[in-house]
Structure 1
Amino acid sequence: MTEPLLRVDALSVDSLSVDSPGSGSPGGALLRDVSFELAAGERLGLIGESGSGKSLTALSITGLLPDGLAADGSILLGGAQVVGSRERDLVELRGRVASVVFQEPLTALDPLMRLGRQIAEPIQRYRTLSRAELRAAVRDALVEVGLDEVDRIARAYPHEVSGGQRQRVAIAMALATRPQLLIADEPTTALDVTVQAGILDLLDRVISERGMSLLFISHDLAVVSRVADRVVLLRHGEVVDRGSLADLIARPQHPYTRELVAGARELDSAIDNPGSLA
């Protein structure tokens, strides 16, 4: 039986007690007993409201939890254990096995570095290229994510391009290392509806073309339905429902699932009948 690319088993995340710094004693559980798997080439949506633990899950998977938080349980990423591993071992997993696209590219991109240079850096970590080959690789990365005027964008700083262009650059950076898994953490939330649709189409196309796995994190059921077939629902740090998207929509069992489905249907109805919004 083939091992999944990602296996999260009984993951818990605790904030450490402020009363005894360095003691490692729990100060409060933020995630509790979260478990799921993601196979090679599979797409999974991780859904939950703000504060449900979605982003903490993503940070745990990549070993990027901030100071003051501690993970327990098991996370196998590409067959390697993440929980409790040394930073130098985790660096090898980031980029090569999994890359992350965050919600706000302005905070993910270096404001003092040209965008082309920011894409070139991860490429150089895994490939030995001449200067000309590196420039071509950067151009190819920008073209792949649907950007025009790639030479201008490569020379630009983050504040000199639009929000949608910045997010496409951030996606290009995440893809530049040819990872097996892309973790997209609310990548469209800060964008308007038209730009959001373009980013979702881009992710759908690239994931299909490369045969990658996708973990798509969002609070929006309708958005997740554009790119994932199976979902895990988080609420208050716990998994409350899971299954195929079609089954959860047709037969929602948990009250939170029913609430999400009802909200999505209400929005669809309002869009189909604009007068109802008056």
Structure 2
Amino acid sequence: MTTAMPFDLDATLLPAVTAVVKNAGVTLRERYPAHARGVSLEEVVAEIHANDDAVLAVMREPLLKARPGSQWEEDELAGGALPPGEWWIVDPAEGNINHVHGMPDWAVTATLVRDNRPVLTVVHLPLTGDTYTATAGGGAQLNGCPLSVSAKRDLSAALIGTGQARPGESADTFRRIGASVTAMLTAGLVVRVSVPATLQLIHVAAGRMDAFWQFSDVRSGLVAGALLVTEAGGTVTDLDGKPWSVAGRDVLAAAPHVHTAALDVLSSI
């Protein structure tokens, strides 16, 4: 008699999680405006919270039921290590700021983290219908087809991305973002500065972009993409070159042949 390995169990769970995330995507798509909503900061924030509340209402209970004994991380903008066990880290509207401004770059994500290691993720883009999935040890897929990171070997030919994780970052973080963009504009071919992180990380996993970095520990924007990039053959570290973890302060996800060169540019900033 053989015992199922954890990744086998996660692969079995994946269809149920995918169904929950796609269903949540219907809710978020129905709330998508044809033009920007909200004028004042208070109105914009209210729209963001309304999106979160509407989508979480159709995600939370089904995900907890799908994995009995799992726990729910409440704070979407939190960082750092989690207590032991299994936790759902969900972003009901990843790229919420884009959604409420009538822009297309947003998604619904759900990631299962086991003992501070992402082991299963689903990222669904309701406007295109595309769904990115990965399980630890089981590879990364787009609509069921395997993903593979870029084969680029020269950073000077690389398309690279970054962005901020949240409004109101510290002055030092904004300084580092600016300095790092300047450095990468010199070292790489093109640099994209945009949000959200997950939608750049899926491009790295799919080989469309070659690297992404961010000075942040916001878990909800990183765990899904970190697993997708890793399972697509990429390298994901912090900016000291150590393997990235949920407790990390920053991240660099890149195609393996340009990772070292990108790290050399960023590590001293």
Name which structure has the greater RCO, CA cutoff 8 Å, separation 6+: 1
- The alignment's TM-score, normalised by the length of structure 2, stands at 0.29
Larger Rg: 1
